[in-house]
Structure 1
Amino acid sequence: MVVPVQNIVETVDLTPQDALLPLYECIVNSIISLMQSNQTQKEIQVKIKRGDDPTQLAFTGIKTIHSIVVTDNGVGFNSENLNSFETPFSKVNKEYGCKGIGRFTILAAFREIYVKSNYIENGTWKYMEFKCDVEKEVQPIVLKDSETKLPKTSIELIDCFNPVIKDRTAISVSDIAHELMNHCLIYYLSGQMPIVKIFDADDKKGEVINDLYAKVSKEKERTFKVGPHSFRAYITKVQKENNRKHHYIYYCANSRVVGQPSSIGKINASFSYPINENGNLYFLDIYLVSDFLNSKNYKVRNGFSIPQEKENGLFNDPDLISFEEIEIELVKLLEKQYQNHVKETSLKSQTDLQNYIDNNAPRFKSLRNNLELLKTIPPNLTDDKKEEHLYRISYQARKEVESKLKEFINNKQINEETIQSIKKSIQDKTSYDVDSLADYMMRRKAIIDLFDKFLEADSEGKYKLEEDIHNLIFPLGFTSDEIGYEMHNLWLLDERFLTYKFIASDKAITSFTQKKSSKEPDVICLSDRPQMFDNPISFGDKSNGELNSMVIFEFKRPGDVAHQKRKSDYRWDFSELILPYFDDFLYSQDKKNYKGKHVIVKKETPKFGFIIIDILPPALEQYNLDSGWEKTPFGTFYKMEAKKNLHLEVMTFSKLLEYAKNRHMPFFDKLFGK
């Protein structure tokens, strides 16, 4: 039964990562040919012929590969090898790991294979030429006796056409050389690697693969078992160059690397850092060989029929193991081999996380000294990833503690033993609650720092827009459906106002309000932009009903001076800015809040009024001091209206900021250090 070449080629499924697989097949075939020869100077030459620019935009200026010529001085295409070439799945070189389908892999990528071979057979030198493609298959061109008495075979792979890999061939000769070095390392380690030279036909630049092996230091050979299967690990190290970041495992079958390497750092985070030896940094390249890998290699030689993870089931095949199990056992071996490195990287990672918590995330302070938990976080992470891992651990730890406390509360059998067992959980919960407080204080610090910036003049001497400070006082903004007035930062004025609720304002500070008269709107009307400045705003311990306390404040626009109420006349009382609004609540009938609900304010209701200004001219200051206002040692002004149980206070934005900073400084010092 004859199987057409085209039918076999159509079953070859190449991926972008297989761009150099046809070249690997040719190189390995040449190595095997040289292993069968008695040549003393064994050599392979590779010529790269470039074609078009890649279809995807690239900035390297490197063209894709059009053709490759591989030349060696091995045994050549004698009758046995030619017959093997023409026979699908030939077993002629099975002892060398050949599966008899390499040429089909080549034809899945290149349109034609052209062979020239000068060889000796039965004491006679012969010369042969033939070509092969998927349609006409093998086509003899020349077969004759040869006058040349030197072995030489060249195989040209012509016209790379496969769009899956073509763009991926646009890589430099240097990069191709490094890939070949990794692919053939087992031949090097076993002393079977011939001299391999590669060069680019366009710019004549080249590399000698053997020179690259000089940079590879063979560390150790180690064996280990996974289930019934034995593995040999060739451990090599290379000095850190360029931007390399990983240690790698290379899976090998039949003396050649198969597929893409795996990062060891994904299995054990300690191997996310290079190994430091006498001040020099190295990365490990580990090559795994095994009869098991040989038996599980795909025929195309671009992967293995091995599951990635261990399968759990009742009827699992004990002989079938996973990559996960292999890598776990390998890493155990590496941890012993490089135990000093593991300790150093673990300590470095913990210190890095502790510094991050100290400087950027005090909300996770309860985790800072829990080294067992910190060890579970991979090293060498970005700040975003550190945050993600710390949050996950914190959430799980909180959840576990709360579950234990709930179980304790629900357990009716409370005795000395159960009390002792719950003490640790109570301590942990206290630590996590402190973390929550730290998180809240960090937010406050950010608000204070922003407030400071917003009050600074820009380079042209102008002040920041009023919306900035408005959004700082009311960070969530206001919507027409549910007005989040409670979500404010009035603690900047006084901690007592932290839980106060919004009642009303003289002007709209949201997208709508009620309008009935100039001071008490009753009809819903739209406002183009929120107004917080020059606009008395009232808050209370509750938003309607009889209030236990009330505060009204007015912010004068940054950049304005207080006397601009009447630009040429400083003879006006601070009280004029805010007292009428208290009187309005005291003496008006049916006073309502922004939702239309009644608000009751009595004379005995504690009332606080705050006026925040930017600039206070001396003349206006003196006028108010002469009018009954008092100045505090801290530079603010106050006035008491005893009959109305009213306290009025005037301060500048800078004083407001100073007070807020001073109140929070002990907390900030404790959290962030002085």
Structure 2
Amino acid sequence: MSNVNVRRLVENIRSGTNVYTPLVELVVNAIQAIDQKGVKNGLIQIEILRSGQADIIDRLEDIDGFIVKDNGVGFTKSNRDSFDTLYTEQKIADGGKGFGRFTCLKYFNHVTVASTFANGDKLHDRSFRMGLDKDIIVDETIAASDKQETGTAVEISGIKSVKFPDKRLDTVSRVIVERLLPYFVDKDRTCPRILIREASEPSGGVSLNDYLGKENSQIVEMRVEQGTFTLPANKDTKDFQVRVFKLYAPRSAKSKVSLVAHRREVTDNPLQAYIPEFAEEFYETGPDQDLAKGRNFVVKSYVFGDYLNDNVSLERGEFRFQTDNDLLSGISQSEIEQKAAEIAQSALGSEITERKSRKQARIADYVAAEAPWHRTLANEVDFDALPMRPSNQDIELHLQKKKYEKEVKTRSQVAALLKSENPDELGEKIIQLMDSISDTSKNDLIHYVSMRKCVLDLFSKSLEINVDGKHKSEGDVHDIIMRRKKDSEDLDYDAHNLWILDERLNFSSYVSSDKPLNKPNGDRTDITIYNRRVAFRSENEASNPITIFEFKKPQRDNFADPSSKEDPIQQIVRYVNQIREGKFKTPTGRDIIVNSTTPFYGYVVCDLTAKVRKWLEFEKDFTPMPDGLGWFRWFGNNSLYMEVLSWTKLLQDAEMRNKVFFNKLGID
């Protein structure tokens, strides 16, 4: 009679178990009972119990439980007493924890045992069920038996709140085979024959042993050149063995690495976590390279070793060492799985290599076409961790991360070098660090120039006519140069493209784009720029130039009509006079400091139609530029230099200034 709080014990089962765990436990117990009996014709039968209403699609009821039958030694008094003892040591030599049977009660409401055992030369029947109070064995009966041989049938039924994940017999069979594959492939101990069938169909069923070792088997072991590895564990070393298998007809399964303890799979994790090229299933052609008879497969790498046997948890759902870095035990789960993944990769040979080559080509295409600024960095970076089919975002994020890591390392090295008191080490290290800094700077410059090419392509497109034969408004092209209703207080330093107008404008201290200069509804220029040239500092504020731009819609020229109230030249002159008179402040309340010598630059960007050219020459007294794509005039009394430029000239000049950079990058 036991005295165990069974319910509390079951409630505290946590680590890594699932609804398949009890079934695997019963099958292993059946194998051990047959081994104990020492028969050659060992047989285990798994019957599937169902309940509820059949599904409309597959016409199968949900699985409610299982009956596992064997022709082993049965529940002798010794086995019975062991069952009734928490943490029994009876099967310790075979890796027994004396606890596995309690996982049955975690997932099923009912556990009943019916067994025939030998007592001397007589057979007896023993039956009982597992209790949920203080006793492990309840309702036990013993009687003389009329059966011809020993054996046991254990039924688990009344599945609890969790739903059994699978319905089909072949799916359940596949899971059991994978979980118990070490038993099927053990060269030293023959696995009993294991059949699985529906409880309602005694004549049907599938032999789990047939998954291996026959023609067209669904599981085939792969040859590996070196199937062992060693890892250091503190001051010791631990040996591991790896066996790799092909699993055909994988459906939605993934290639995995499984850690085994005492011939039972304990954990399984995707191989792609270590080698991304395992993300997709593989294909094997049929005899004589016949594609029509080929089969898809995934790979499963099983790892064995005393270190795993010694460190498996009580419930056999996990290990006692850490998943990642394990300072106490010395060896982590990820280290073991990484080595097993590499052995699985070697077993596959060229297929993984070809997948990696395709990934590398994909990365090279991205860098060449989309991110040439990463060209130097890409030659130094390891891309093994990227997905098998990386997206542009995957590649870019990986490169940005490596770039950041390289910059941090360089800064640390520079700081350490500056603190060094040994002059002899400076020379060579300085050269190395300068090369590193130069590479980083080149990457940034290439990225910046490439972005300019994209902006100019977009700018050129904006000057074309729409499908309706009309040009875009000046607002559309305005937004490309600088977003409307914004100023440099609203936008980041580099969130504009003023370089299209003039490279010097990149270093402006304040920019206002289509915003009133003095009050919410006041006059507003398209772009007003208060420049702070590098040569002028401190007291020379008044000598900093102010630049004003006005944009007109491509092909629009009605502003040149005598009756027009939108004369852009007159508008700029008026703005200049008002600024000189001290009427304006910036939208943030800052003074615009000017004096009589403050230079002003005005630019009107429009299309130079015949009407506009005539207007500029005969009414505005402008002088044509040598290329014919612009006009200029000096307003001496206002210290105002003004140009009227065509959209074509603006684009061509910007392209010409940047052409040498585009050419060097091969993106022109």
Same fold per TM (> 0.5)? yes
Query: Which one-letter code corresponds to 2:316 in the other structure?
Result: R
> Which moves more between the two structures, 570-579 or 65-74?
570-579
2:570 to 573, 576, 599: 576
Q: Is 1:288 the equivalent of 2:293?
A: no
In the TM superposition, residue 188 of structure 1 has moved relative to its aligned partner by 0.8
Q: Give the gaps of 5 or more residues in structure 1.
A: 516-524
SS in structure 2 at match of 1:363:
helix
- Give runs of aligned pairs for residues 11-410 of structure 1, distance below 5 A: 12-14=12-14, 17-35=17-35, 36=37, 38=39, 40=41, 42-50=43-51, 65-117=63-115, 122=120, 124=122, 126-135=124-133, 137-140=136-139, 143-147=142-146, 149=148, 153-161=152-160, 163=161, 166-167=162-163, 169=165, 173-190=169-186, 192-198=190-196, 208-213=207-212, 214-218=217-221, 219-220=223-224, 222-226=227-231, 227-238=236-247, 241-242=250-251, 246-248=255-257, 250-258=258-266, 260-264=267-271, 266=273, 283-309=298-324, 311-312=326-327, 321-323=331-333, 326-327=336-337, 350-370=360-380, 373-374=381-382, 378=386, 380=388, 381-405=390-414
Q: Give the gaps of 5 or more residues in structure 2.
A: 290-294, 534-539
Query: Which one-letter code corresponds to 1:44 in the other structure?
Result: Q
Q: Is 1:636 the equivalent of 2:636?
A: no
The answer on whether the counterparts of 1:541 and 1:547 sit within 8 Å (CA) in structure 2 is: no
- Give runs of aligned pairs for residues 588-627 of structure 1, distance below 5 A: 588=581, 593-594=586-587, 595-600=589-594, 602=596, 607-613=600-606, 618-627=610-619
Superposition CA RMSD, Å: 4.7
The answer on whether the counterparts of 1:254 and 1:294 sit within 8 Å (CA) in structure 2 is: yes
Give, in whole Å, the separation in 1 of the partners of 2:262 and 2:550.
Answer: 83
Give, in whole Å, the separation in 2 of the partners of 1:651 and 1:514.
Answer: 28
The answer on whether the counterparts of 1:629 and 1:637 sit within 8 Å (CA) in structure 2 is: no
1:495 to 467, 485, 503: 503
In the TM superposition, residue 256 of structure 1 has moved relative to its aligned partner by 0.9
Give, in whole Å, the separation in 2 of the partners of 1:107 and 1:121.
Answer: 29
The answer on whether the counterparts of 1:553 and 1:611 sit within 8 Å (CA) in structure 2 is: yes
In the TM superposition, residue 46 of structure 1 has moved relative to its aligned partner by 3.3
**Cα 1:329–1:536, aligned 2, differ >3 Å: closer, same or farther?**
closer
Give, in whole Å, the separation in 1 of the partners of 2:366 and 2:45.
Answer: 53
**Cα 1:592–1:208, aligned 2, differ >3 Å: closer, same or farther?**
same
Q: Which residue of 1 aligns with 2:529?
A: 539
The answer on whether the counterparts of 2:116 and 2:145 sit within 8 Å (CA) in structure 1 is: yes
Query: Which one-letter code corresponds to 2:576 in the other structure?
Result: F
In the TM superposition, residue 549 of structure 1 has moved relative to its aligned partner by 3.1
**Cα 1:475–1:64, aligned 2, differ >3 Å: closer, same or farther?**
farther
**Cα 1:43–1:448, aligned 2, differ >3 Å: closer, same or farther?**
same
**Cα 1:311–1:143, aligned 2, differ >3 Å: closer, same or farther?**
closer
**Cα 1:109–1:490, aligned 2, differ >3 Å: closer, same or farther?**
same
The answer on whether the counterparts of 1:441 and 1:667 sit within 8 Å (CA) in structure 2 is: yes
> Which moves more between the two structures, 428-437 or 323-332?
323-332
Give, in whole Å, the separation in 2 of the partners of 1:410 and 1:89.
Answer: 62
Tell me the alpha carbon deviations over residues 210-264 of structure 1, each in whole angstroms, 9 at most, x when there is no partner. Answer: 344423332248344443544333233445844555441x222221112x22445
Q: Is 1:649 the equivalent of 2:643?
A: yes
**Cα 1:569–1:188, aligned 2, differ >3 Å: closer, same or farther?**
same
Query: Which one-letter code corresponds to 2:227 in the other structure?
Result: R
The answer on whether the counterparts of 2:528 and 2:547 sit within 8 Å (CA) in structure 1 is: yes
The answer on whether the counterparts of 2:378 and 2:399 sit within 8 Å (CA) in structure 1 is: no
Tell me the alpha carbon deviations over residues 50-71 of structure 1, each in whole angstroms, 9 at most, x when there is no partner. Answer: 55999xxxx9999864322333
Give, in whole Å, the separation in 2 of the partners of 1:439 and 1:643.
Answer: 42
The answer on whether the counterparts of 1:238 and 1:282 sit within 8 Å (CA) in structure 2 is: yes
The answer on whether the counterparts of 1:110 and 1:160 sit within 8 Å (CA) in structure 2 is: yes
In the TM superposition, residue 197 of structure 1 has moved relative to its aligned partner by 4.0
Percent identical pairs in the alignment equals 22
Give, in whole Å, the separation in 1 of the partners of 2:657 and 2:59.
Answer: 62
SS in structure 2 at match of 1:257:
strand
In the TM superposition, residue 123 of structure 1 has moved relative to its aligned partner by 5.0
SS in structure 1 at match of 2:2:
coil
SS in structure 2 at match of 1:2:
coil
Query: Which one-letter code corresponds to 1:637 in the other structure?
Result: G
Give, in whole Å, the separation in 2 of the partners of 1:559 and 1:62.
Answer: 71
Tell me the alpha carbon deviations over residues 134-159 of structure 1, each in whole angstroms, 9 at most, x when there is no partner. Answer: 13753447655555546664322121
In the TM superposition, residue 15 of structure 1 has moved relative to its aligned partner by 5.2
Give the number of aligned pairs.
634
The answer on whether the counterparts of 2:41 and 2:192 sit within 8 Å (CA) in structure 1 is: no
In the TM superposition, residue 287 of structure 1 has moved relative to its aligned partner by 2.0
2:518 to 480, 499, 514: 514
Query: Which one-letter code corresponds to 1:563 in the other structure?
Result: N
The answer on whether the counterparts of 1:608 and 1:647 sit within 8 Å (CA) in structure 2 is: yes
